[in-house]
Protein backbone atom coordinates (compact mmCIF):
# COMPACT_ATOMS: atom_id res chain seq x y z
CA UNK A 1 0.00 0.00 0.00
CA UNK A 2 1.35 3.43 -0.95
CA UNK A 3 2.45 5.70 1.87
CA UNK A 4 1.29 9.31 1.59
CA UNK A 5 3.10 10.52 4.72
CA UNK A 6 5.24 13.35 3.29
CA UNK A 7 7.45 13.46 6.41
CA UNK A 8 8.66 9.85 6.14
CA UNK A 9 8.96 10.08 2.35
CA UNK A 10 11.11 13.22 2.69
CA UNK A 11 13.38 11.64 5.32
CA UNK A 12 13.95 8.47 3.29
CA UNK A 13 14.44 10.35 0.03
CA UNK A 14 17.05 12.61 1.66
CA UNK A 15 18.87 9.59 3.11
CA UNK A 16 18.74 7.79 -0.25
CA UNK A 17 20.17 10.88 -2.00
CA UNK A 18 23.03 11.04 0.51
CA UNK A 19 23.89 7.41 -0.29
CA UNK A 20 24.46 8.46 -3.91
CA UNK A 21 27.28 10.82 -2.82
CA UNK A 22 30.85 9.49 -3.00
CA UNK A 23 31.67 11.39 0.22
CA UNK A 24 29.27 9.05 2.06
CA UNK A 25 29.90 5.90 -0.03
CA UNK A 26 33.68 6.05 0.51
CA UNK A 27 33.68 6.74 4.25
CA UNK A 28 33.17 3.63 6.43
CA UNK A 29 32.02 5.69 9.43
CA UNK A 30 29.51 7.80 7.50
CA UNK A 31 28.06 4.93 5.49
CA UNK A 32 27.43 2.95 8.68
CA UNK A 33 24.90 5.66 9.67
CA UNK A 34 22.86 4.82 6.56
CA UNK A 35 23.36 1.10 5.93
CA UNK A 36 22.61 -1.77 8.30
CA UNK A 37 25.18 -4.53 8.75
CA UNK A 38 24.14 -7.43 6.50
CA UNK A 39 22.39 -5.19 3.94
CA UNK A 40 22.08 -6.97 0.59
CA UNK A 41 22.83 -4.98 -2.57
CA UNK A 42 22.13 -6.17 -6.11
CA UNK A 43 23.73 -3.60 -8.43
CA UNK A 44 22.67 -2.94 -12.02
CA UNK A 45 25.78 -4.82 -13.15
CA UNK A 46 24.38 -7.99 -11.53
CA UNK A 47 25.70 -10.18 -8.78
CA UNK A 48 24.98 -9.78 -5.10
CA UNK A 49 26.89 -8.14 -2.29
CA UNK A 50 26.34 -8.25 1.45
CA UNK A 51 27.51 -5.14 3.28
CA UNK A 52 29.51 -5.54 6.47
CA UNK A 53 30.16 -2.70 8.92
CA UNK A 54 33.48 -1.04 8.12
CA UNK A 55 33.21 -1.57 4.37
CA UNK A 56 32.56 1.13 1.77
CA UNK A 57 30.44 1.19 -1.37
CA UNK A 58 31.74 1.38 -4.91
CA UNK A 59 32.68 4.87 -6.12
CA UNK A 60 30.12 6.46 -8.48
CA UNK A 61 31.75 7.48 -11.76
CA UNK A 62 29.87 10.60 -12.80
CA UNK A 63 26.81 12.15 -11.18
CA UNK A 64 23.93 10.05 -9.92
CA UNK A 65 20.58 11.67 -9.12
CA UNK A 66 16.96 10.74 -8.39
CA UNK A 67 14.20 11.77 -10.81
CA UNK A 68 11.84 13.31 -8.25
CA UNK A 69 8.63 12.58 -10.17
CA UNK A 70 9.42 8.84 -10.07
CA UNK A 71 9.50 8.37 -6.28
CA UNK A 72 7.01 6.00 -4.61
CA UNK A 73 6.96 4.88 -0.99
CA UNK A 74 5.26 1.62 -0.04
CA UNK A 75 4.51 0.46 3.51
CA UNK A 76 5.81 -3.01 4.29
CA UNK A 77 5.17 -2.52 8.00
CA UNK A 78 5.14 0.38 10.45
CA UNK A 79 8.94 0.38 10.71
CA UNK A 80 9.82 -0.95 7.23
CA UNK A 81 9.33 0.93 3.93
CA UNK A 82 10.05 0.22 0.27
CA UNK A 83 11.34 3.23 -1.67
CA UNK A 84 11.03 2.96 -5.47
CA UNK A 85 12.49 5.49 -7.91
CA UNK A 86 14.29 6.04 -11.20
CA UNK A 87 17.88 7.26 -11.01
CA UNK A 88 19.81 9.01 -13.74
CA UNK A 89 23.55 8.82 -14.12
CA UNK A 90 25.53 11.30 -16.18
CA UNK A 91 29.11 10.34 -16.96
CA UNK A 92 31.19 12.08 -19.62
CA UNK A 93 28.92 12.11 -22.69
CA UNK A 94 26.52 9.35 -21.63
CA UNK A 95 23.34 9.19 -19.62
CA UNK A 96 21.92 5.99 -18.15
CA UNK A 97 18.68 5.45 -16.25
CA UNK A 98 18.02 2.70 -13.74
CA UNK A 99 15.03 1.52 -11.74
CA UNK A 100 15.96 1.41 -8.07
CA UNK A 101 14.40 -0.08 -4.97
CA UNK A 102 15.54 0.21 -1.38
CA UNK A 103 14.05 -1.27 1.75
CA UNK A 104 14.49 1.03 4.75
CA UNK A 105 13.99 -0.17 8.33
CA UNK A 106 13.69 2.00 11.42
CA UNK A 107 16.29 0.55 13.79
CA UNK A 108 16.52 2.18 17.19
CA UNK A 109 14.94 5.39 15.88
CA UNK A 110 17.19 5.65 12.82
CA UNK A 111 16.23 4.70 9.26
CA UNK A 112 18.77 2.36 7.65
CA UNK A 113 18.76 0.58 4.32
CA UNK A 114 18.65 -3.22 4.56
CA UNK A 115 18.25 -4.03 0.83
CA UNK A 116 18.96 -2.22 -2.44
CA UNK A 117 18.61 -3.20 -6.09
CA UNK A 118 19.30 -1.31 -9.29
CA UNK A 119 18.29 -2.40 -12.80
CA UNK A 120 19.27 -0.48 -15.92
CA UNK A 121 16.35 0.59 -18.09
CA UNK A 122 15.86 2.15 -21.52
CA UNK A 123 15.79 5.93 -21.89
Is pLDDT above 90 for 24? yes
> Structure pTM?
0.91
Average pLDDT for residues 11-40, to the nearest whole number? 95
Q: Residue 53 — very low, low, confident or very high, per pLDDT cuts 50/70/90?
A: very high
**55-67 confidence digits (pLDDT tens):** 988 888 888 899 9
- Is position 79 within any domain? yes
Share of the chain above pLDDT 90, in %: 71
Rounded Cα gap, residues 28 and 120, in angstroms = 27
Rounded Cα gap, residues 74 and 1, in angstroms = 6
Minimal CA–CA distance to 34: which of 89, 107, 101? 107
Q: Residue 29 — very low, low, confident or very high, per pLDDT cuts 50/70/90?
A: very high
Share of the chain above pLDDT 70, in %: 96
Domain at 47, CATH number: 3.10.450.50
Average pLDDT for residues 76-105, to the nearest whole number? 92
Number of domains in the chain: 1
Comparing 6 with 38, which gets the higher pLDDT? Answer: 38
- Is position 20 within any domain? yes
Minimal CA–CA distance to 113: which of 123, 121, 102, 122? 102
Mean pLDDT of the chain: 91
Residue 23 lies in domain: 6-121
* Summary count for the chain: helices (H), strands (E): 3, 7
- Residues 32-60: b if buried by 16+ CB within 10 A, e if exposed: bebbbeebebebeeeeeeebeeeebbeee
- Is position 116 within any domain? yes
Sign of CA dihedral 94, 95, 97, 102: positive
- Is position 86 within any domain? yes
- Is position 1 within any domain? no
pLDDT of residue 123: 64
Amino acid sequence: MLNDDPRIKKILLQREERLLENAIRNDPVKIADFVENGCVEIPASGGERQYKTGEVFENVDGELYILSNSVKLIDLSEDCKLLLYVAGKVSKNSRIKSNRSSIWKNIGGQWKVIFHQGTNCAE
